[in-house]
Amino acid sequence: MKLSFVTILVSIIFAQGFSSPLSSISTSSSSSDNNNNNNDNYSQHIYNHDLNNNEKEGEIGYMTLFQSNTEEFDDMCIEVNNSYPAYAEGDYIISSVGMFEYGGKIFQGVLDGFGKLHRFTMKGNKVCATYRIMSTGFYNESKKEKTVGPGLLFYQTEPPRKCPLLKPMCNLQAPNDNSFVYTVNVGDEIFSTTDSTIMVSVDPKSLNVTDNFKISSKNIKFGEIAFVGSAHPVKHPETQNWVDFYGSSGMIKDATNISAYQMIGGRPDIDENRKPIANVEMDTAPYMHSFGISQNYLIFPHTPIMFNIKGVFAKSMAGAFKDLPVESDQCMNNAFYITPLNNNKTNKKITSTTVRFLPKSFKLYYVHTLNTYENASGIVLDITTAPGNPFNKAMDTIQGQRNKTARDISMKIYVTRFLLPWDNNTKITSQTFSDRNKKTEFPKINPKFSTKKYCYYWAVTWFSDNETYASMAIIKQDMCNFGKPGATLEWKRPNWYVSEPMMIPATDGKEEDDGIVVFPALNGNEGKTYYITLNAKTMEEISVAGPFPHIPYSAHGHFYPKDTFK
């Protein structure tokens, strides 16, 4: 089929506009400019307005999560009563939004704002915090323009940005590197990810952004582009290298090739630094925020949502997410794609890509993957699921988060276990492993049990009082005794708002839940953040360190043991 002018044009735009603009990257300083200070005042005005009109006992200070914090500093240290165990010495790095407005323009999407990194270094009886605004190309170009610059956003700013008349595709051609969902390390570099093929590299000592790069390949067909990825790489069960994928497609057909790879040495934008391990063809471009890996297989859940590349021409990225109909019990857009790991078909029960369908009565809306493992019956995949499309909803907007009524009627999310039988004639079964009156998200397991049978996860819950969205807690859930007394333990305080927990296993632990759990939590009464350490088994407090300057709405965290970086 002959390629259209639009296909060629977009390919050129993506090849050039998404390349690394080195001139746009600069290291952060420890001080904020005048524009940042002005924006802080503006955000404080909004915060005070909402505090007076929305917040009630039990959710006081919740709106502080949506208040910008441009403070940057190095090693603000606080002593704790109980020293950290030797196995927990290292860095917990968690990302968040840093700025919700800039130069008279307000971000409307919760995660559209400029990213920020926070590091909590645990050693002995001290925890030391470092905060850094991410000086990405998007941020630095915005600083030059003294307002929110060009770039693809989930929702348009208020007031809206406009491209110059002679540069109508300015948002496509921008750096588009505001990637701050999750961090992983390859060698002595940290890569910060999002659900695209663009990552940024970060110096682990200073937390300064050093570069950006786009995952692609010289093997992609002419007229196609690599445009979709996953924000959550997973560890290969044998090599412990990070595994991710990129999806490539053209403008004419929706069919998309998913190319999975290991990161084997340096930045994965270089073909030689990627080891291909699987290729899967899908009829439509999937949106896969996460995926599964077992001892022998990759599992790609295809939710009935597609990332419509043509939608990037809309006014916002929200227009690129298209709901797909599920009209039968064998719909390719409502299924699990299972493919052998490492392209190895030897001694495997599934020797080629297999699609396992869900009935049309069960639409596969999911967000995060807890774990994947194999047993005698099939492949067990644990993910967080929702009764409807969890994206492009009110809670994805700051306006929705500020509306108590909207918050308190928002969608619940559950932990769901799927058994994908080896026998294709046997139906998939599912079981819920969380309280259906609550929203359970940001789940973490003991990393030593990845790809293995396990019992426990630790997670954030909303609606912990069964009524109020902003009633938040950290829970420990025993799935092996689900529903029995004592199977669910929680940590919470009134008017405290928690971030994603990290389970750090004890080096000499004999049981799965031997270790500690760490996470930042906002004290809404003070507007300050504290660093919490719990006993992973009992969920009892070990230490509460703080106060630190508040961390706004956060994404994901990752623990790097002390010997990770040279």
pLDDT(18) > 50: no
pLDDT(31) > 80: no
d(CA 409, CA 406) in angstroms, rounded, equals 6
| 25 assigned to some structural domain | yes
Q: What band does 47 get if pLDDT is binned at 50, 70 and 90?
A: very low
Pick from 359, 258, 329: nearest CA to 299: 258
| 245 assigned to some structural domain | yes
| 426 assigned to some structural domain | yes
pLDDT(99) > 60: yes
- What is the number of residues in the chain? 566
Distance of CA 499 to the CA centre of its chain: 12
Q: What band does 25 get if pLDDT is binned at 50, 70 and 90?
A: low
pLDDT per residue as tens digits for the range 141-179: 999 999 999 999 999 999 999 999 999 889 989 999 999
Pick from 264, 121, 132: nearest CA to 187: 264
List the structure tokens of 501. 């927990």
**Residue 315 pLDDT:** 60
| 174 assigned to some structural domain | yes
Q: What percent of the chain has pLDDT over 90?
A: 76
Q: Mention every residue, 6+ apart, whose C-beta is less than 8 A from residue 461.
A: 434, 435, 438, 439, 440, 441, 472, 473, 474, 475, 490
pLDDT per residue as tens digits for the range 527-549: 999 999 999 999 999 999 999 99
Average pLDDT over residues 215-229: 78
Q: How many CB atoms lie within 10 A of CB 144?
A: 9
Stretch among 22-36, 299-313, 350-364 having the lowest mean pLDDT: 22-36
pLDDT per residue as tens digits for the range 433-453: 999 999 999 999 999 999 999
Distance of CA 266 to the CA centre of its chain: 22
Mean pLDDT rounded to a whole number for the chain: 89
**Residue 265 pLDDT:** 85
pLDDT(56) > 80: no
pLDDT(3) > 60: no
Domain count, the chain: 1
Please give the C-alpha separations between residue 321 and each of 69, 224, 357, 478, 484, in angstroms, as whole numbers: 30, 19, 22, 35, 40
**Residue 14 pLDDT:** 38
pLDDT per residue as tens digits for the range 301-358: 999 998 776 666 656 777 778 889 999 999 999 999 999 997 666 667 888 999 999 9
The 8-class DSSP code of residue 397 comes to B
Q: Domain span at residue 96? A: 5-561
| 103 assigned to some structural domain | yes
Full-model pTM: 0.91
| 566 assigned to some structural domain | no
pLDDT(65) > 60: yes
Q: Is 105 helix (H, G, I), strand (E, B) or coil?
A: strand
**Residue 177 pLDDT:** 96
**Residue 214 pLDDT:** 93
| 110 assigned to some structural domain | yes
**Residue 44 pLDDT:** 44
Pick from 177, 156, 195, 225: nearest CA to 13: 225
Stretch among 8-12, 256-260, 329-333, 505-509 having the lowest mean pLDDT: 8-12
| 486 assigned to some structural domain | yes
Stretch among 119-133, 209-223, 494-508 having the lowest mean pLDDT: 209-223
Q: Where are the alpha helices (DSSP H) in 1-160?
A: 5-17, 34-53, 137-145
Q: Where are the beta strands (DSSP E) in 272-377?
A: 274-282, 292-293, 297-302, 305-307, 321-323, 335-340, 354-357, 365-374
pLDDT(58) > 90: no
